[in-house]
Amino acid sequence: MRCKFCGKPTKSHTTGDIAICHSCFIEEGDLARSLLAEAEEEAEEDDEIDEMFDQLPKHETEDAFYTDLTPLINALQGQTEDMRDATPLPEEVIEDLRDLLGTVNTRQLIGSLGENYVMSSTVSVDPETHKDGVGIPPKMIEYLLGLLCTLEPNKEGDLPYDEVHETTDRLTRSLILHVVGDEVDIQSLPEEERHQYFIESQVLGRELAASRFVYPSQYLEAAERAYTPHNNILQNELGFTIQDATQFVRDLSQLYQEQYQRMLDRFGEFSRITRVAHGGFIRHLDQYDDDEEGMEAYLDSDDYGEAQHEINQAQERYQEAKQDLWLEKETLIERIDDNEQEFKSFLDRMAVSLGSVPQDDFTYPYEHNPLHGRPIIEHDGEYIIPHFNALLRAVAETYYYDLIGLTGYGSQDEHGGKFGSQWGDYVEEWTHECLLTIFPDIEILINPEYSVAGDSYETDLVILHEDTCIVIECKAKKLTLQTRRGDYPAVKDDVIDGIGDGHDQASRLIDNIQAGEVTKLSTDNDTITIDADTIERYLPVIVLREQYDWIATTEYPTIADIEDNLPYVTSVYDLEVITECLESSDRFIDYVTKRIQLSGVQKLASPDEIDYLGAYIDNGLEVLDMPDDIRVDMCNFAHIVEDQVGHQFYPPELGGDELPFDEGSD
């Protein structure tokens, strides 16, 4: 192990994951003692978890990452009814949460939620931690911010952050446990119905935690690809173009990153002083045989008074930096090089004032959140961005609703008017560009036409590579809020409309090529002859405009009842990352083939396609034969992808080739 301070190999002072060489232990003194004591507590907690998992069956490959969680899951399922009975209804918890939020200092809480989000983001992309985050999950932070917009701001009050965190966790448990009504005996239901409830819990659980993973720069790229064809309308209706909007997001992100970094620096200073004081307390206790006697002596010592004074001063500096997260409009305008009028229009469109949203408009986490369309919070002429992902996602998503509802341009019917006829074209164009990176020397057929029994059809993209035919359908279908909530009928409708339609279109071409009915594909430039005898492998691929999480990675074959020509389903965001990671067409084909095989048996499960990609890079996605009743939940492989290409997907304003917000947490 290497010393925490100097980095030299050492065995002198080690506890858990912490090692400190003797020289640094003497030099750092109380800080070293505090770190070792903290590591000892964490090691004891880890030992308890390891002991529990050691009792579970293992299915080991060379990389040994499969653990059969089935006994644990079965045991928990057997306790579900008792747990549900002991958990209040979501409506009751939400009422408690509103009451609690109404008593806190609103601006301080929003600053703390922003701090939680930034620190969680830092941890989630740090390969040293392999954790998804810390504190309140990102989606529940977004939910709390949305709730605060429905309440009159409170300038007084305490900041019981732990109580807010606990109540938020209680709401998550309540929503999950009450997916199944009290009147339903889940164990007595047929397997198919039990699995439907299982899917509802999976989808809702994901929505309450992190939801869709997309790299920051991908949201900006999606925004420009999606809305550039509509710039004239955006300028006329909103007062800015999409290029204006993405540049403003970059400028604001950089400005607020600097503000958060200053706050984290002050927090790091406060944390260090507190740890030194903790180490001094440990040193005092070591001088006494009786802990109570040692504690009394420490409280009477000059060291205690000096430590408390330093801690209080550091805490004041930290709280001042947190208040500085709120910036006046003039400060924001100063950061914008030009386009002041466009920026004011952008700020008017993207900001929501505290207390301006009626309570009836937003209650549950899976409903339309005020931050979905207006992720910048305003109060008394000052602004804060407490959730960077909400800002990035909004610039890619929210203008759709401005355009689709525009009289004479959009339409609320299924066709969407002139706007709807163009919406989604960028997904196909983006998909084509991604595939060109790994098929640079192969002609990718764009919108090839073919005939069957006198009827003409078209597919989106086709690749003929050696003995493989890849048929790609691109779908812009948006998931409804009911699906995000986990409502199974809505999930099924969305899957059939998106993945199901794409599967049917790809299957029609594949089946007719195999039957010898289609021997030619025509494009604007050429006609390609197809010899079915030379094709040994057909790969249907569905590329979605947005991520469907569990639905797309694992569950869609069951939901859509797909048996033949099972497709590989991914989002255009994930496809871009995949084609950056896999350096050759052969690797891409092998990956897609294995993903289709895994989707068929549903043995390896994760809501993130990036986890599968990381596992493929790590060990080729080799999966052992396992009993039918075992399904392995897989996570923590995304860091492998992050190490390889993650730096490419952060704009310079959010850290560039460095981890975002990664310097102020120690």
Tokens of 31: 């800080």
Is residue 79 within 8 Å of residue 177, measured between CB atoms? Answer: no
Bridge-based pairing of strands 13-15 and 568-571 is: unpaired
Average pLDDT over residues 460-488: 93
Is residue 456 within 8 Å of residue 430, measured between CB atoms? Answer: no
The pLDDT value recorded for residue 71 is 55
Chain mean pLDDT for the chain: 86
Long-range contact pairs involving 457-463 (C-beta distance under 8 Å, separation at least 24): 457/505, 457/508, 457/509, 459/505, 459/506, 459/509, 460/428, 460/431, 461/428, 461/431, 461/432, 461/435, 462/509, 462/521, 463/435, 463/439
* Residue 322 pLDDT > 70: yes
pTM (2 d.p.):
0.86
Alpha-carbon dihedral sign for residues 660, 614, 606, 50: negative
Residue-wise pLDDT tens digits, 580-628 = 999 899 999 999 999 998 887 766 778 889 988 998 998 887 765 566 6
Residue-wise pLDDT tens digits, 45-93 = 555 545 655 555 554 444 434 455 555 555 555 566 677 778 899 999 9
Residue % of the chain over a pLDDT of 70: 87
Tokens of 280: 């001094």
| CA proximity to 640, closest of 578, 586, 589, 584 | 578
Residue-wise pLDDT tens digits, 399-437 = 999 999 888 887 766 656 788 888 889 999 999 999 999
| CA proximity to 59, closest of 72, 69, 47 | 69
